[in-house]
Amino acid sequence: MARITLETLRHSYVEKPGSDVDWALASLDLEWTDGGAYALLGPSGCGKTTLLNIISGLLRPTEGRVLFDGTDVTDKDPVDRHVAQVFQFPVVYDTMSVFDNLAFPLRNRGVAEPAVRERVTEVARMLELDGLLARRASGLSADGKQKISLGRGLVRSDVNVVMFDEPLTVIDPHLKWVLRSKLKEVHQRFGNTMIYVTHDQTEALTFADQVVVMLGGRVVQIGTPVDLFEAPRHTFVGHFIGSPGMNILPCAVDAGKVVFDGETVALDSPPRAVPAGTLELGVRPEFVRFAPDGIAVEVVKVDDLGRHQVVEVRRGAHAIKLIAAEGEAIPSERPRIAFDPRRARVYADGWMVEGGASR
Amino acid sequence: MTARTTNQKAWWLVAPVVVLVAFNALVPMMTVVNYSFQETFGDNVFFWEGFKWYEELLRSERFHDALVRQLAFTATILAIEVPLGVAIALAMPRRGPWVSVCLVLMALPLLIPWNVVGAMWNIFALPDIGLLGRLINGLGVDYNFTQDPTSAWVTTVVMDVWHWTSLVVLLAYAGLCSIPDAYYQAAKIDGASAWSVFRHIQLPKMKRVLTIAILLRFMDSFMIYTEPFVLTGGGPGNTTTFLSIDLVKVALGQFDLGPAAAMSLVYFMIVLLLSWVFYTVMMRNEGT
Amino acid sequence: MRRLKWLVPTLYVVFLMLPIYWLLNMSFKTTNEILGGFSLWPTEFTLDNYRKIFTDSTWYTGYLNSLTYVVINTVISVTAALPAAYAFSRYRFLGDKHLFFWLLTNRMAPPAVFALPFFQLYSAIGLFDTHIAVALAHCLFNIPLAVWILEGFMSSVPKELDETAYVDGYSFPKFFVKIFLPTITAGVGVAAFFCFMFSWVELLLAKTLTSVDAKPIAATMTRTASTSGYELGLLAAAGTLTIVPGAFVIYFVRNYIAKGFALGRV
């Protein structure tokens, strides 16, 4: 097990990268603590898989270094890095039985046969493959094959990190939930560092202690699920995480005051100076409420979701969503709304502007 | 494969193919069957002979020899072309500008008319003016494929390897290209050796195309006629007289229609039977 | 070890090119030079052999004859195979499996077996020594191959495509030509390539079914080699020219060749 450090990592699949779009990974500094359960979250094509492949050694980064416990492993092969990786689509060795498939990574490293048997049996029991050990792997369903892939990732006890690249894509929804809990259980039991790539926020938030959100080859935020929810550092994080996502409204900053559509919005920590770039106000629907002294809006739509209601209101051309408690009355006469001053934030060109003198 | 629906009208769609192939296959086949039981001395006068030609053929030393030569030849070229083709496909680049160059150059021998292949190798291997002939004799080996049976045999085999290995390469390469990257990546992570990757990933994934390659190479080499005929004319002596060459000698050279027809049918049956055996053996483990 | 990997295909390609080079070399030599001694390249470079082929009608009509029946055969084979392959990939019908297998067995029939009966058959129906005769005869092995390749490509096209089109009110012929064909262009290209190839390289049947009017180039060459003695330069030039059409065709389908058989059903 190890602490993994990525130093000024850049990667391009193009021979001679020129402009920004050529970089699959555009400069990355990151540290993964030993034994952490990380989720790597982001839209397709944001560089998640590239990052995984660099950590495992399948790819050599164009620039930068990869360190395991402070030792430079940038030039080492995957075998020498002692990592495990599970891919999006099942990889099984068709010619082998399920048992031999699971035993393969161990036998390749010369593990003694009794130890192999012990580990394989344990992993198989955990993944509920124990009845199938003698079967030929090629005959299994997609679910079963992906369980084998997972099993091969978990069977070694000496790995520095186990990486999962959207491993549950081909699994049906019910089993998805079961397997995710299994992985969580495995993490608690063995304490491996685990990195779990996904584009599904529920998967990320339930699996991980720390979530790394990526966009366009950059890490936009690392934090606990709560951090990401309460203080998104980028409008993308606000928008991507949460359901519905954060409201993002154009605004102006004038003499320490934040102005949205002609109305001043009170903030606990407004920007000190006028930030450069396009300015936006971000506030989650959870932190918007009806208030008699707020901004005048009109109600467009109310969705009752049972536990709470999602209300869509409109101010001029801007749609704003807010969450009202179950059974809360929606004002019909001249409704007004207010933003929670502690939770609303100003973003410049998408990035959160650090507040000035707080309170 | 997607589930197919039952529709008897589909026969209309296959009708043109059936008519065209049946016209070419059934009528001549019936002629052959008809001849094989008769004797003719020309002028379209035929006498019923029953199974006489078949009995003669099966007892004929000449047929046995040709069959043995044919089997030896086919076994030899399969033993060379299949492993060689796979090895070359494995060593080929998977992407980049060289892929097209390789594919085009390698496919070239496949598109040369078969008699030109024979003629080309004749010129290439002649001991006096051929590059190959000169080279080998220059090395101190006594080589003359027009007179020496061993030279003739080896030259015919090398010519076939030259002519057809590319087919195996193309097929094996297609099989290799269809393996998703994740398999190689997983193997690297699992610490698999190059041999393990070949044994457990590449070979199983190539099985289907290799079956096709072996079947095609088996069938075509068993039918080989033009190339050795042009190269050596079946000689020296009968060294390179394979089944087809012998058949044409009997049918068109001596105009013995009856024996030739019987030989044709036996020959066709052998190809069918061996193809079927090959196919069954290679597909035996599929899907279990 | 890994560094030297490129050596394997390179050596193989060199091995493939050597006889072709030798043929090319011979084609630029005079008969005197060829018979006079051994040289690695033409010392008296000449284009006479090629000039002769392009001016003498017995030679160049040979090329035209070959190309004519090859093209006719390719068109017939692919056109007939398209609906049949569609039927095999989409429908189940009485005897479909046996039919498919029977078609493939014709690919296994040695041409030598058919030489004589073909001669009699095509003579009897008055097609002997015509392009169409050779084109039809080559259907024997090209149609099964085309059906086989196309079936593989078609089976990889989801059936939903057909259903959507029918729901949208397309008739079968209109759907087939306007929607289905464009999605399997690669397959049609590969099938056409293999039909062209096997028809172009086959000689036994082509020679048996022709005498003067439809005589293929390959047969013209054989005659030269046997009757007018040692005109090796001319023979080499003619041989070199037979490689050209094939080279062209390969160049156009180079990206699909490898896929052709890979998708075929076994």
- Asked whether residue C89 falls in the same domain as residue C136, the answer is yes
Please indicate if any CB of chain B lies within 8 Å of the CB of C246.
yes
Q: What is the CATH number of the domain that holds C210?
A: 1.10.3720.10
pLDDT of residue B34: 81
- Asked whether residue C37 falls in the same domain as residue C70, the answer is no
- Asked whether residue A192 falls in the same domain as residue A272, the answer is no
Q: In the predicted model, what is the mean pLDDT of residues A283-302?
A: 88
Chain A residues whose CB is inside 8 A of the B180 CB are 89, 91
- Asked whether residue C70 falls in the same domain as residue C18, the answer is no
Please indicate if any CB of chain A lies within 8 Å of the CB of B96.
no
Is C109 contained in some domain? yes
Q: Name the C residues in 6-65 with CB < 8 Å from any B CB.
A: 6-9, 12-13, 15-20, 22-23, 26, 34-35, 37-38, 40
- Asked whether residue A231 falls in the same domain as residue A88, the answer is yes
| Residue where a domain terminates, one of A177, A210, A235 | A235
**Nearest residue in C to B211, CA atom:** C266
Is A310 contained in some domain? yes
Q: Which letter does DSSP use for residue A20 in this model? A: G
pLDDT band at A357 (very low <50, low <70, confident <90, very high): very low
DSSP letters, C34-91, are HHH---SS-SS---HHHHHHHH-HHHHHHHHHHHHHHHHHHHHHHHHHHHHHHHHHHE
Residues 6+ apart with CB under 8 A from A282: A232, A235, A238, A246, A247, A248, A249, A344, A345, A346, A347, A352
Is C51 contained in some domain? no
Nearest to B219 among C108, C115, C147 (CB): C108
| pLDDT value at B73 more than 90 | yes
Q: Residue B66 corresponds to which tokens in the numbers above?
A: 């040709």
Is C3 contained in some domain? yes
Pairwise CB contact (< 8 Å): B268 & C90: no
| pLDDT value at A202 more than 80 | yes
Q: Give burial (CB, 10 Å; 0-12/13-18/19+) of A1.
A: middle
| Residue where a domain terminates, one of A208, A235, A262 | A235
Is C129 contained in some domain? yes
Pairwise CB contact (< 8 Å): C201 & B178: no
- Asked whether residue A182 falls in the same domain as residue A288, the answer is no
pLDDT digits (tens, 9 = 90+) for B4-31: 788 888 888 999 999 998 888 888 888 8
Number of domains in chain A: 2
- Asked whether residue C127 falls in the same domain as residue C42, the answer is no
Q: Where are the alpha helices (DSSP H) in A59-112?
A: 78-81, 98-107
Q: Which residue has the higher pLDDT, C87 or C228?
A: C87
The SS3 call for residue A271 is: coil
pLDDT of residue C11: 93
| pLDDT value at C262 more than 70 | no
- Asked whether residue A302 falls in the same domain as residue A269, the answer is yes
Fold of the domain spanning B51-283 = MetI-like fold (1.10.3720)
pLDDT digits (tens, 9 = 90+) for C177-192: 888 998 888 888 888 8
Q: Which letter does DSSP use for residue B233 in this model? A: T
Top residue of C2, C3, C7, C12 to mutate, by most chain B CBs within 10 Å, is C12
| pLDDT value at A186 more than 90 | no
- Asked whether residue C38 falls in the same domain as residue C124, the answer is no
Q: Are C231 and C168 in contact (CB under 8 A)?
A: no
pLDDT digits (tens, 9 = 90+) for B101-115: 888 899 899 988 888
Q: How far apart are CA B222 and CA B275, in angstroms?
A: 10
| pLDDT value at C151 more than 70 | yes
Residue with tokens 């058959």: C121
pLDDT digits (tens, 9 = 90+) for C67-81: 999 999 999 999 999
pLDDT of residue B226: 83
In which domain, by residue range, is A261 found?
Answer: 244-352
Q: In the predicted model, what is the mean pLDDT of residues A234-254?
A: 88
- Asked whether residue C39 falls in the same domain as residue C115, the answer is no
- Asked whether residue C6 falls in the same domain as residue C25, the answer is yes
pLDDT digits (tens, 9 = 90+) for C87-107: 998 888 888 888 888 888 888
- Asked whether residue A152 falls in the same domain as residue A281, the answer is no
pLDDT of residue C232: 81
pLDDT of residue A1: 61
Please indicate if any CB of chain B lies within 8 Å of the CB of C124.
no
pLDDT of residue C258: 57
In which domain, by residue range, is C42 found?
Answer: 1-46
Chain C residues whose CB is inside 8 A of the B105 CB are 13, 16-17
Is A145 contained in some domain? yes
| pLDDT value at B164 more than 90 | yes
Pairwise CB contact (< 8 Å): C118 & B28: yes
| Residue A247, phi then psi, degrees to nearest 5 | -75, 130
pLDDT of residue C133: 92
| Residue where a domain terminates, one of A235, A266, A287 | A235
| Nearest CA-CA partner of A318 in A337, A344, A332 | A337
- Asked whether residue A117 falls in the same domain as residue A201, the answer is yes
- Asked whether residue A55 falls in the same domain as residue A133, the answer is yes
| Nearest CA-CA partner of C112 in B70, A255, A3 | B70
Give how far B239 is from chain C: nearest CA, Å.
19
Query: Please, which chains are in contact with C (at least 3 CB pairs closer than 8 A)?
Result: B
- Asked whether residue C26 falls in the same domain as residue C2, the answer is yes
- Asked whether residue A90 falls in the same domain as residue A214, the answer is yes
Please indicate if any CB of chain B lies within 8 Å of the CB of C154.
no
Nearest to A91 among B183, B193, B196 (CB): B183
- Answer whether C touches A (≥3 Cβ pairs < 8 Å): no
Is C79 contained in some domain? yes
Q: What is the CATH number of the domain that holds A164?
A: 3.40.50.300
pLDDT band at C139 (very low <50, low <70, confident <90, very high): very high
Give how far B133 is from chain C: nearest CA, Å.
11
Residues 6+ apart with CB under 8 A from A113: none
- Asked whether residue C110 falls in the same domain as residue C3, the answer is no
- Asked whether residue A57 falls in the same domain as residue A199, the answer is yes
pLDDT of residue A359: 33
pLDDT band at B158 (very low <50, low <70, confident <90, very high): very high
pLDDT of residue B161: 96
**Least-confidence region, from A267-271, A277-281, A294-298, B182-186:** A267-271
| pLDDT value at A194 more than 80 | yes
pLDDT of residue B8: 82
- Asked whether residue A107 falls in the same domain as residue A14, the answer is yes
pLDDT band at C10 (very low <50, low <70, confident <90, very high): very high
Please indicate if any CB of chain B lies within 8 Å of the CB of A358.
no
- Asked whether residue C162 falls in the same domain as residue C214, the answer is yes
| Residue where a domain terminates, one of C46, C66, C81 | C46
Chain C residues whose CB is inside 8 A of the B278 CB are none
Please indicate if any CB of chain A lies within 8 Å of the CB of B71.
no
pLDDT of residue B127: 83
pLDDT of residue B287: 42
- Asked whether residue C40 falls in the same domain as residue C109, the answer is no
Q: Are A256 and A263 in contact (CB under 8 A)?
A: no
Residues 6+ apart with CB under 8 A from A141: none
N residues, chain C: 266
- List chain B domain ranges: 51-283
**Torsional sign, CA B3, B8, B14, B20:** positive
- Asked whether residue A131 falls in the same domain as residue A223, the answer is yes
Q: Which letter does DSSP use for residue B201 in this model? A: I
Is A148 contained in some domain? yes
Chain B residues whose CB is inside 8 A of the A162 CB are none
Mean pLDDT over the full length of chain A: 86
| pLDDT value at A239 more than 60 | yes
Q: Are A194 and A37 in contact (CB under 8 A)?
A: yes
Q: In the predicted model, what is the mean pLDDT of residues B141-161?
A: 88
- Asked whether residue C78 falls in the same domain as residue C151, the answer is yes
| pLDDT value at A117 more than 80 | yes
Mean pLDDT over the full length of chain B: 84
- Asked whether residue A188 falls in the same domain as residue A79, the answer is yes
ipTM of the prediction:
0.86
| pLDDT value at A273 more than 50 | yes
Please indicate if any CB of chain B lies within 8 Å of the CB of A136.
yes
pLDDT band at B277 (very low <50, low <70, confident <90, very high): confident
Q: How far apart are CA B28 and CA B22, in angstroms?
A: 9
Q: Name the A residues in 140-169 with CB < 8 Å from any B CB.
A: 149, 152
Give how far A349 is from chain B: nearest CA, Å.
37
Percent of chain B exceeding pLDDT 90 equals 18
Chain C residues whose CB is inside 8 A of the B115 CB are 203, 218, 221-222
Top residue of B184, B188, B190 to mutate, by most chain A CBs within 10 Å, is B190
Is C124 contained in some domain? yes
pLDDT digits (tens, 9 = 90+) for C14-40: 999 999 999 898 888 887 787 777 778
Q: Which letter does DSSP use for residue C220 in this model? A: H
| pLDDT value at C260 more than 70 | no
pLDDT of residue B177: 83
